[in-house]
């Protein structure tokens, strides 16, 4: 059992195994289920993720509110035009992160990683990696266990709820989870995964949760895009040997304290931030027939 990132890394290093192995073993101990059963369940989560991405990048997905939809398709078309400034892998991950959240906003089926509002970062980066490096199915499933291990630490020591800690707790956590998992899939060490998580999360600290009209659409969908981009850069930095000067567990603790100090207007209430802009209030009135004014 591990309580924090330091213990997670220490277990993996002492036994010379992957972080995903530690997470699978912990699940086996807690649930008293077999390796095959747990692995198969995670594989089913992977199927859900893939189906959401395929729908989002190939169909004209629109939310009921009309606030979101179609951006993943636009990015895929732009990527194929050869005119993009970002690299193919980078933009592919961003488009697939968007695709997942557009499907969520359209009431489709997704896998919360760690929440519905932040569900695009982990699968977006994973399925871009599938296209780039052709990992095995086992590697892809292990990617989810690795991200889950880091998400579990955040959930137990801080928060993964936008209502409790702002968007830093949702998209921020997802970004760190993805960065850590990318490192393992690409052959990095458990310690490098921890540094990737720390680097990614440090750059999401203070991110508020300010959904326009109270819907998990704007700016949530595009924040998942930025989270995917952030995760890739953080993973590359860690794989290059760059380390976070602030240990991962301290970054997580800082995120928790920042969330505690945030105004309630900035924690999923649609009372502040982008949700309080004139355009957002007008959109809210158009969708629901009223506008929340302070």
pLDDT at 290 (0 to 100): 73
Structural domain boundaries in the chain: 5-288
What residues contact residue 176 under an 8 Å CB cut-off, 6+ apart?
150, 154, 196, 197, 198, 200, 201, 204, 231, 234
Are the beta carbons of 243 and 195 closer than 8 angstroms? yes
What's the rounded mean pLDDT across residues 90-111?
Answer: 98
Q: What backbone phi and psi angles, to 5 degrees, belong to 285?
A: -65, -40
Give the pLDDT confidence of 55-91 residue by residue, as tens digits. 999 999 999 999 999 999 999 999 999 999 999 999 9
For domain 5-288, the CATH architecture is Orthogonal Bundle (1.10)
What's the rounded mean pLDDT across residues 103-124?
Answer: 98
Percentage of the residues of the chain whose pLDDT score is greater than 90: 98
The angle subtended at Cα 213 by Cα 56 and Cα 272, nearest 5°, is 120
The Cα 157–Cα 104 span in angstroms is 27
What's the rounded mean pLDDT across residues 20-37?
Answer: 97
Q: What is the pTM of this model?
A: 0.97
- pLDDT for residue 293 is more than 80: no
pLDDT at 291 (0 to 100): 64
Give the pLDDT confidence of 167-226 residue by residue, as tens digits. 999 999 999 999 999 999 999 999 999 999 999 999 999 999 999 999 999 999 999 999
Give the pLDDT confidence of 255-289 residue by residue, as tens digits. 999 999 999 999 999 999 999 999 999 999 999 98
Residue 156's alpha-carbon distances to 49, 61, 131, 235, 268, in angstroms, are: 24, 35, 33, 23, 20
Query: Tokens 């995120």 appear where?
Result: 255
The Cα 125–Cα 129 span in angstroms is 6
Percentage of the residues of the chain whose pLDDT score is greater than 70: 99
Instruction: For residue 59, give the DSSP letter.
Output: S
């Amino acid at each position: 059992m591990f309580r924090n990132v330091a213990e997670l890394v220490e277990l993996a290093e002492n036994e010379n195994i992957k972080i995903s192995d530690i997470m699978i073993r912990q699940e086996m101990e807690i649930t008293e289920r077999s390796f095959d059963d747990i692995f198969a369940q995670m594989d089913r989560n992977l199927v859900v993720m893939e189906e959401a991405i395929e729908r989002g990048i190939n169909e004209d997905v629109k939310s009921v509110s009309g606030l979101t939809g179609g951006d993943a398709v636009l990015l895929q078309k732009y990527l194929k035009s050869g005119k993009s400034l970002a690299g193919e892998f980078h933009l592919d991950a961003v488009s697939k992160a968007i695709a997942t959240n557009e499907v969520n906003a359209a009431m489709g089926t997704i896998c919360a990683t760690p929440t519905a509002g932040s569900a695009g970062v982990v699968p977006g980066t994973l399925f871009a990696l599938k296209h780039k490096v052709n990992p095995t199915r086992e590697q892809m499933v292990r990617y989810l266990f690795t991200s889950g291990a880091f998400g579990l630490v955040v959930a137990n020591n801080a928060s993964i709820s936008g209502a409790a800690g702002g968007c830093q707790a949702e998209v921020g956590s997802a970004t760190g989870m993805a960065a850590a998992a990318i490192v393992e899939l690409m052959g990095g060490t458990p310690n490098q995964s921890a540094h990737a998580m720390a680097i990614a999360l440090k750059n999401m600290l203070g991110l508020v949760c300010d959904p326009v009209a109270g819907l998990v659409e704007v700016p949530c969908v595009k924040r998942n895009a930025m989270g995917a981009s952030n995760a890739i850069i953080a993973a590359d930095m860690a794989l290059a040997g760059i380390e976070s000067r602030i240990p991962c567990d301290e970054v997580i603790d800082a995120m928790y304290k920042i969330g505690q100090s945030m105004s309630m207007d900035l924690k999923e209430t649609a009372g502040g931030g982008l949700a309080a802009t004139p355009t957002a209030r007008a959109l809210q009135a158009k969708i629901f027939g009223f506008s929340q004014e302070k």
